[in-house]
């Protein structure tokens, strides 16, 4: 097997904030109704994280778990750890109705970093960033495509679909150009 290549091979842009594509990152979509027996154990086994509350993301070292919808969580982990995590989930949810699927390659992930990182996202998403709560994972759109983002480590992490990675990189770069601070 070749080395996995992220959508933009780590492209970056330095404006009034720094934008860079990161990854590849392991990601699993886990669908199960809240309260499904074994669900918390599955998430714990795959990532070491507790189940997040509504619209929250929980991080534990390299892994994180985000609330995506009432019956969907997003597991974030090292790219190489997906197969083992899927096995652990299958074991924990044996016999329970669920769907766990590798979506690592279907996504592109960006970091937007700097004191004014929020300003770049304020230009693209109809989201009240002043009211974004700590640890909140917000699903919305950036300009014309779907995205999810959350604040961490002095910036934001943004996830979008892989096929539109260059579009999103373009959006973030244009919005971060010097002189365009809000």
Where on the chain is the footprint of other proteins (CB under 8 A)?
1-7, 24, 29, 31-32, 54-55, 67-72, 79, 97-99, 101-107, 119, 122-128, 130-131, 138-141, 143-146, 161-167, 170-171, 174-175, 177-180, 182
Structure tokens at 44: 């714990």
Question: Least distance from C-beta 127 to other proteins, angstroms?
Answer: 7
Find the helix packing angle between 39-47 and 82-92, rounded to 10°. Answer: 160
CB-nearer residue toward other proteins: 115 or 146? 146
Which of residues 70 and 134 has its CB atom nearest to other proteins in the complex? 70
Shortest Cβ 90–other proteins spacing (Å): 11
- Non-local (6+) Cβ contacts of 48 within 8 A are 60, 61, 63
> Is the CB of residue 85 less than 8 Å from the CB of residue 77?
yes
Query: CB 145 → other proteins: shortest distance, Å?
Result: 5
CA pair distance 47, 63, nearest whole angstrom = 5
**What six digits make up the tokens of 3?**
């080395």
Nearest to other proteins of 115, 182 (CB atom): 182
Four-residue CA torsion sign, 121, 60, 135, 140: positive
Closest CB to other proteins among residues 48, 129: 129
């Amino acid at each position: 097997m070749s080395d996995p290549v992220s959508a933009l091979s780590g492209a970056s842009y330095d404006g009034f904030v720094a934008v860079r594509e990161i990854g590849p990152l392991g990601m699993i979509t886990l669908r199960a109704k809240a309260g499904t027996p074994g669900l918390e154990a599955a998430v714990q086994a795959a990532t070491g994280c507790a189940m997040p509350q509504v619209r929250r993301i929980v991080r534990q070292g390299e892994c994180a778990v985000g609330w995506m919808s009432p019956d969907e969580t997003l597991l974030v982990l090292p790219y190489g750890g997906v197969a083992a995590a899927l096995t652990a989930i299958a074991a924990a949810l044996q016999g329970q109705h669920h769907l766990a699927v590798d979506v690592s390659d279907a996504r592109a992930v960006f970091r937007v970093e700097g004191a004014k990182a929020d300003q770049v996202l304020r230009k693209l998403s109809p989201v009240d960033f002043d009211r974004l709560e700590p640890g909140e994972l917000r699903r919305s759109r950036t300009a014309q495509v779907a995205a999810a983002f959350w604040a961490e480590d002095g910036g934001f992490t943004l996830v979008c679909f892989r096929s539109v990675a260059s579009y999103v990189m373009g959006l973030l770069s244009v919005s971060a150009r010097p002189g365009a601070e809000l």
